[in-house]
């Protein structure tokens, strides 16, 4: 599992870790049943606090991406197509909200925005 952290990012480290693991699960780089590195091991590898990784793993558990077995470790949860689609829709809504806000600032109409999306969608 590869995680690249940016100290210059405005995004907190725990969110960077969370986002990258979530992405790897969503694109099937990490598959159901695969064990994640231990919290201490990943913290050491990334040179961050154990608390940082613990927070990332807790967020992943709350969202249903991973599950923990006491004394054994943390594993990628069984992810079905419907779950992936639901998570993708959530992500798209956030991105579209940001795009809509940007369009409003420069007076791009909804019709123009829809045309841009149609062009992009192909």
Q: What is the DSSP string of 48-71?
A: --HHHHHHHHHHHHHHTSEEEETT
d(CA 115, CA 32): 38
- Other beta carbons within 10 Å of 13: 19
Q: Given 3-state DSSP classes, what are the helix, strand and coil percentages for the chain, each rounded to the nearest 5? A: 60, 5, 35
At residue 18, the pLDDT reads 97
Token pair 């123009």 is at which residue?
A: 112
Question: How many other C-beta atoms are found inside a 10 Å radius of the C-beta of residue 10?
Answer: 6
DSSP SS3 for 68: strand
Give residue 76's pLDDT: 97
Q: What is the pLDDT of residue 87?
A: 85
- pLDDT at position 74, please? 97
Q: What is the pTM for the complete model shown?
A: 0.76
pLDDT at 99: 95
User: pLDDT (tens digit, 0 to 9) for every residue of the chain, 122 residues total?
Assistant: 899 999 999 999 999 999 999 999 998 999 999 999 999 999 999 999 999 999 999 999 999 999 999 999 999 999 888 888 888 899 899 999 999 999 999 999 999 999 999 999 98
pLDDT value for 112? 95
């Amino acid at each position: 599992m590869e995680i690249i952290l940016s100290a210059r990012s405005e995004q907190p480290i725990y969110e960077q870790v969370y986002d990258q693991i979530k992405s790897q699960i969503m694109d099937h780089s990490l598959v159901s049943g695969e064990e994640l590195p231990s919290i201490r091991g990943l913290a050491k590898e990334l040179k961050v606090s154990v608390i940082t990784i613990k927070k990332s793993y807790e967020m992943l558990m709350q969202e249903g991406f991973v599950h923990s077995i006491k004394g054994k470790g943390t594993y990628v949860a069984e992810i079905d197509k419907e779950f992936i689609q639901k998570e993708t829709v959530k992500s798209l809504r956030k991105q579209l909200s940001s795009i809509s806000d940007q369009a409003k600032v420069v007076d791009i109409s909804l019709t123009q925005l829809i045309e841009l999306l149609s062009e992009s969608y192909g």
